[in-house]
């Protein structure tokens, strides 16, 4: 049985899994196209709209619609429905993707505490100012529900690591004396659960794919999904060996060709990895990786 035959749908991270900047990651496009499963492409990036992301994926050769992309801004608006009625005014902090997601769910984006918002949705935007953060703090202090799209502390750029939305959330938190009531993006579960709802598939029948252990893989754990950790992005096999329990993947593979690989083949690597985790949980550090894991490094 191929790995893709074991599941009914896929939730797939983007940066480091499908593309790196503009170019596609090797084997990603053909592997996803050949998997034969519905896919939701889930990203913590709250600044871009789903249409922008979908257009990028189409340029790479994937047959996707705008609705196949799920952003943390959309997850924030989705989870907001459990707390605030549609039609309410919501202070939108971040890029265009934040306000667009709120409008999709019937909310009225505003940008000033003078508009008496019922909630604050805070996401990343390159043009976010100190004034925007102050307006968020004022609204939260007056009782507005605070939803963060994600809490990634850094944002990779061509020049290095820039402050991410998590850093901006900390700035507001310093003013109000606490953190947000809800975080929508990975590693919290709303983004993945929204994807499962869109796919019409129970979380336990969805395979979550990612390259970051503390966001993609931990998010899969939070949502009750199995996970495939690919070594095409941020983290490597040594990081997986050292991962705490909530960040440990179900499967690990060099790249997305694993979707067409026999489950038995992937299980050998998973078994070796579990043995390493058990050894380390007992306090027994290993100097050398077992051969099944070492082969993933070369």
Binding-site residue positions for Mg(2+): 13, 15, 211
Give the span between the Cα atoms of 19 and 244, in whole angstroms. Answer: 27
Give the span between the Cα atoms of 274 and 276, in whole angstroms. Answer: 5
User: Chain centroid to CA 6: how far?
Assistant: 22
DSSP 222: H
Instruction: Work out the end-to-end distance of the chain between its first and last CA atoms, rounded to an integer number of angstroms.
Output: 26
Q: Within a 10 A sphere around the Cβ of 281, how many other Cβ atoms?
A: 10
* Tokens 């495939």 found at: 228
Residue 143, C-beta contacts closer than 8 angstroms, at least 6 positions apart: none
Q: How far is CA 258 from CA 34, 73, 81, 251, in A?
A: 11, 30, 37, 9
Q: Give backbone dihedrals phi and psi of 286, rounded to 5 degrees, phi first.
A: -105, 140
Active site residue 15: yes
Give the span between the Cα atoms of 228 and 95, in whole angstroms. Answer: 30
Outline where DSSP puts E strands in the chain: 9-12, 39-43, 69-71, 89-93, 108-110, 119-122, 145-148, 154-157, 160-163, 182-183, 206-210, 226-230, 251-253
- Tokens coding 151: 């809490």
Give the span between the Cα atoms of 72 and 15, in whole angstroms. Answer: 14
DSSP 217: I
Annotated binding site for substrate: 186
Q: How far is CA 15 from CA 65, 88, 255, 266, in A?
A: 18, 33, 13, 23
Catalytically annotated residue among 8, 13, 52, 281: 13
Annotated binding site: 13, 15, 186, 211
Active site residue 13: yes
Catalytic residues: 13, 15
């Amino acid at each position: 049985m191929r790995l893709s035959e074991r599941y009914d749908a896929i939730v797939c991270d983007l940066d480091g899994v499908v593309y790196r900047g503009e170019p596609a990651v090797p084997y990603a496009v053909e592997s996803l196209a050949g998997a034969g499963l519905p896919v939701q492409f889930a990203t913590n990036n709250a600044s871009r709209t789903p249409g922008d992301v979908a257009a990028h994926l189409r340029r790479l050769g994937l047959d996707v619609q705008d609705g196949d992309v799920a952003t943390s801004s959309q997850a924030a608006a989705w989870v907001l429905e459990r707390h605030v009625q549609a039609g309410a005014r919501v202070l939108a902090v971040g890029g265009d993707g934040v306000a667009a997601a709120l409008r999709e769910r019937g909310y009225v984006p505003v940008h000033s505490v003078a508009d008496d918002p019922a909630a604050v949705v805070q996401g990343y935007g390159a043009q976010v100012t100190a004034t925007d953060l102050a307006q968020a703090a004022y609204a939260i202090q007056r009782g507005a529900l605070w939803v963060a799209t994600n809490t990634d502390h850094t944002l990779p750029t061509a020049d290095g690591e820039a402050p991410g939305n998590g850093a901006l959330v900390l700035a507001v938190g310093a003013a109000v004396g606490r953190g947000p009531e809800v975080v929508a993006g990975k590693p919290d579960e709303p983004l993945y659960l929204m994807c499962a709802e869109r796919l019409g598939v129970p979380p336990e029948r969805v395979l979550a794919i990612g390259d970051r252990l503390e966001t993609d893989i931990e998010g899969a754990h939070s949502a009750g999904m199995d996970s495939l950790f690919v070594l095409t992005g941020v983290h490597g096999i040594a990081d997986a060996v050292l991962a705490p329990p909530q960040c440990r993947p179900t499967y690990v593979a060099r790249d997305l060709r694993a979707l067409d690989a026999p489950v038995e083949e992937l299980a050998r690597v998973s078994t070796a990895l579990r043995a390493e985790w058990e050894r380390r949980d007992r306090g027994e550090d290993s100097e050398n990786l077992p051969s099944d894991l070492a082969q993933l490094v070369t």
